Each structure stands twice: as structure tokens, then as C-alpha cells.
Amino acid sequence: MSSKKRNRRFIWLSLGPALLCFLVMFAYPLLRTILMSLHSMPGISSRMSDWTFVGLDNFTELFHNSVFLASLQNVGKIWLIGGILTLAFALLFAAILGSGVRGKRFWRSAIYLPNTISVVALATMWLQYVFQNKFGMLKTLFTFLGLHDLAKINWTSPRYLFWAMLIASVYSSVGYFMLIFLSGIEGIPHELYESARLDGAGSWQQFWHITLPLIRNVFRTCITLWTINSVNYFAMAKMFSSRMNLRTITPVYYLYDKIFGTAASASSVLNVGSGAAVGILVAILVLVTHVIMNKLLKEEAYEY
């Protein structure tokens, strides 16, 4: 056997496991989901012989469905408002920790701690011990401070439920993105800051003209990750709703309800094909956002 054939064989043997995993774990589920979205199916485990081709009817039905449209509005607010709050706090904490504050390891662990707790446990904590209307932490705190109007707010009522859920989500997400920002900030040479200080630049000028430009690529990564988290928003929405609620429903929550149903489901007719169509739209949404972010925040290589 020639050396060229041996090299080719070695390459295929090396790529084989990765290629197999790609086909089984990604390509096949994606193609099957696309096919499912074009059919009406009696159940998720139904044989293909039981599928009925409906074309794009599932997609058309979604964009005429008030519940699904409400879920898109909710996930849009989660992405925009939640994203601004999460990334702003994450960047603030990362900048403080990156400045050499005392007890850096402790504060880094403390801020990241919520990410080590399951979403179900976090949601239960917020619902039962923070937002609880009779003896919750917020009610006790506002009463102690004499802010009786704020103490009367029922955070788990339909009027405030979405914002309560968003606060809990931001709290549970800041630590993760803080570590990403912190890794980017720590990669910036300290000599740049020392030179800026010698030139008379203050802390804000250093942050604006050195830190922000040099973590541009980190920002793009964080926005992409936050987009994925937002469109896949499910557990927190499920925990904050005893049944499907237009104020807290998200596309993935709607997908779950259409495919599997719930004991308190707002819809009585299951539609697996419609649920698959939601999955395809979610994937397209992430892809479009990623492309837009790549256009707006173009990757730049800096030489220090």
C-alpha cells in the first residue's frame, strides 16, 4: 500500500468517530425534524407510514396562532431586556474583578454560584421565598424600609409574573457571562493600562478605549450564547406558570405543549408536526441572529 493511500486511510479513520457522531446526533435529527414539520402526525413515535403530508400548513398555522405569536413577543423581550441587563451586570462585575479587587476568588465564586444550582431549585426559591406575597423576602424588606406601596405588589400575579420571571433569569445567568467577559479582560496585557495611566487616562477612559474594543469578539460570543439561551427558554417559564400563560409562554414551552401536552394544557389537540415546525423556526432564529451579529460585530484580530 502506497504512503498516499495509508495517509488517506488514517485521515478517514481519524475523522470516522467525529463524522459518525455528527450524522447520528445532529444531521439525522435535523432532517427528521424538517420532515416532521411538513407532516401531520398522530404521535411523536408514529411510523412514517402514518404521517400525512401537509406542506407548509404547520408554519402557516403558527403565524396565525395568537398563543405562538405571544410566545415570540415574550422571547423577544427576554432576549432584548434580559440580555441588556444580564450582559451589563456581567460586564460590570467582570470589569471590577479584573481591576484587581480584593477577594477576587471569593466574589467570582459567589457571583457564579447561582449557575451551579438547577433552574427548578432556583425558580422554587424565587417563588416561595422571594416573591411570596405574604412573607416573602421582598415584602419583608419593603415593609422594613417603610415602602408599603412596593410591599403590596403581588409579584406572582398575572400583571407582574413576566417581570418576576425575568428578574430570576437574569440573576441565574449573570455569573456565567461574567466568567466569559472576565476571561477576555484578563487576556488584555496590563502594559496597555499602565501606558494609559501614564498618559493621564482615568478608569472610565481605560474601560471605554481599551477594554471594550479589545473584548469585541467576546461580546459577539456572549450575544450568540444569550440568543441560544433565550430561544430555548423553557424551565423557568414552566416553573413560573401553573398552566400555559400568555405572559410567560415561550416558543419552546409552546413546542412542548403541542407535542406532549400537559395536565393543565391550554390546547386540547396535540400537533407533533406543528411542534417540529416551532423547532425549525427556533433554529432559524438563532442562525439569523448569529449572522446579524457577525455583520455588526465583525471579528478583528488585534496585535499587542
User: Residue 40 falls within a domain, yes or no?
Assistant: no
Residues of the chain predicted below pLDDT 70? 1-2, 242-244, 262-269, 297-304
Whose grid coordinates read 450564547? 225
Per-residue model confidence (pLDDT) at position 145: 86
Per-residue model confidence (pLDDT) at position 249: 87
CA distance 21 to 27: 9
Per-residue model confidence (pLDDT) at position 36: 86
Q: Give Cα separations from 19 to 22, 31, 195, 214 (angstroms).
A: 5, 16, 49, 35
Contact assessment for residue 137 and residue 129, using Cβ atoms and an 8 Å cutoff? yes
Domain that holds residue 126: 56-296
User: Residue 46 falls within a domain, yes or no?
Assistant: no
User: Residue 301 falls within a domain, yes or no?
Assistant: no
- pTM above the 0.75 mark? yes
**How many structural domains compose the chain?**
1
User: Residue 9 falls within a domain, yes or no?
Assistant: no
Q: State the CATH number of the domain containing residue 148.
A: 1.10.3720.10
User: Residue 304 falls within a domain, yes or no?
Assistant: no
3-state helix vs strand vs coil in the chain, percent to 5: 70, 0, 30
Smallest CA-to-CA distance from 130 within 142, 148, 147, 116 is with 142
Smallest CA-to-CA distance from 286 within 219, 249, 231 is with 231
Q: What residues have CB less than 8 Å from 87, skipping those under 6 apart?
A: 177, 219, 222, 223, 226
190 CA to centre of own chain: 32
User: Residue 95 falls within a domain, yes or no?
Assistant: yes
Q: What is the DSSP string of 247-262?
A: TT--HHHHHHHHHT--
User: Residue 11 falls within a domain, yes or no?
Assistant: no
CA distance 273 to 17: 32
Show contacts of 5-8: CB within 8 Å, 24+ apart. Answer: none
User: Residue 216 falls within a domain, yes or no?
Assistant: yes
